[in-house]
Amino acid sequence: MTVEVRLQHRFGDFALDAEFAAGMGVTALFGPSGSGKSTVVNAVSGLLRPDAGRIVVGDDVLFDSVAGVALPTWRRRIGYVFQDARLLPHLTVRQNLLFGRWLRRGDVAAGTGAIALDHVVDVLNLGHLLSRRPGALSGGEKQRVGIGRALLSCPRLLLMDEPLASLDHARRLEVLDYLNRIRHALALPVLYVTHSLDEVMRLADQVVLFKDGRTISQGAPADVLNVHRDALDGTAETPGTVLETRIVAHDARYGLTELAVNGSDTVRLRVPRASGEAGDACRILVRERDVAVATSPPVNTSVLNVLEARVASLRDLGDSVEVGATLLGDTVGTVLRARITRFSADQLQLAPGRDVYLLIKSVALTR
- C-alpha 286/C-alpha 196 separation (Å) is 16
pLDDT at 106 over 80: no
- The C-alpha atoms of residue 291 and residue 288 are separated, in whole angstroms, by 6
- Catalogue the E-assigned strands of the chain: 3-11, 14-22, 25-30, 52-57, 60-64, 69-70, 78-81, 157-161, 189-194, 206-211, 214-219, 240-251, 256-261, 268-272, 281-287, 291-294, 305-316, 320-327, 335-341, 355-360
Burial string for 255-287 (b: 16+ CB within 10 Å, else e) reads ebbbbbbbebeebebbbeebeeeeeeebbbbbb
State the Cα–Cα distance between residues 151 and 160, nearest whole angstrom: 11
pLDDT at 113: 54
The mean per-residue pLDDT over the stretch 148-171 comes to: 89
Residue type, 72: P
Among the three residues 211, 235, 259, which one is the final residue of a domain in this structure? 235
Kindly state whether residues 152 and 61 are assigned to the same domain: yes
Predicted confidence at residue 245, as pLDDT, reads: 92
Residue 229 shares a structural domain with residue 245? no
Q: Are 210 and 31 in contact (CB under 8 A)?
A: yes
Closest C-alpha to 45, from 19, 11, 77, 82: 77
Please check whether residues 218 and 344 belong to one and the same domain: no
Residue 223 has pLDDT above 50, yes or no: yes
Alpha-carbon distance of 37 to 331, in angstroms, equals: 35
- Select the more confidently predicted residue: 238 or 91: 91
How confident is residue 114, by pLDDT bands cut at 50, 70 and 90?
A: low
Q: How confident is the model at residue 109 (pLDDT cuts 50, 70, 90)?
A: very low
Overall domain count for the chain: 2
Average the pLDDT over 309-333 and give the result: 92
**CATH number of the domain residue 189 falls in:** 3.40.50.300
DSSP one-letter code for 221:
H
Query: Quick one: 323 and 217 in the same domain?
Result: no
Q: What is the mean pLDDT of residues 360-366?
A: 79
**Which of 94-103, 126-135, 239-248 has the weakest average pLDDT?**
94-103
Last-in-domain residue among 204, 235, 266: 235
Question: In the prediction, which pLDDT does 25 show?
Answer: 92
Work out the pLDDT band at 315, boundaries 50, 70, 90.
very high
Measured distance CA(333)–CA(97) in Å, rounded: 48
Residues 224 and 329 placed together within one structural domain of the fold: no
User: Could you tell me the strand order of the sheet in which 291-294 lies?
Assistant: 291-294, 355-360, 305-316, 320-327, 335-341
Q: Which residue has the higher pLDDT, 287 or 312?
A: 312
Task: Find the CATH number of the domain harbouring 305.
Answer: 2.40.50.100
Which of 177, 210, 235 is at the close of a domain?
A: 235
| 321 and 352 share one domain | yes
Q: How confident is the model at residue 231 (pLDDT cuts 50, 70, 90)?
A: low
Asked if 134 and 98 sit in the same domain, the reply is yes
**Span 117-145, mean pLDDT?**
91
Query: In this structure, are 210 and 313 located in the same domain?
Result: no
Same domain, 160 and 120: yes
| N-terminal to C-terminal alpha carbon distance within the chain | 29
Same domain, residue pair 222 and 249: no
For position 111, what pLDDT does the model report?
45
**Do 282 and 189 reside in the same domain of the chain?**
no
Q: Are 125 and 97 in contact (CB under 8 A)?
A: no
CA 338, CA 199: separation in Å to the nearest integer? 23
In this prediction, residues 288-314 reach a mean pLDDT of 94
Contact criterion met (CB below 8 Å) for 353 and 340: no
218 CB-near residues (< 8 Å, 6+ apart)? 20, 21, 206, 207, 208, 209, 224
Give the model's pLDDT for residue 227.
Answer: 83
pLDDT band at 65, cuts 50/70/90?
very high
Q: Which pTM was predicted?
A: 0.84
Helices 169-185 + 139-151 axis angle, to 10: 20
222 and 248 in a common domain: no
Residue 265: which domain range?
Answer: 241-364
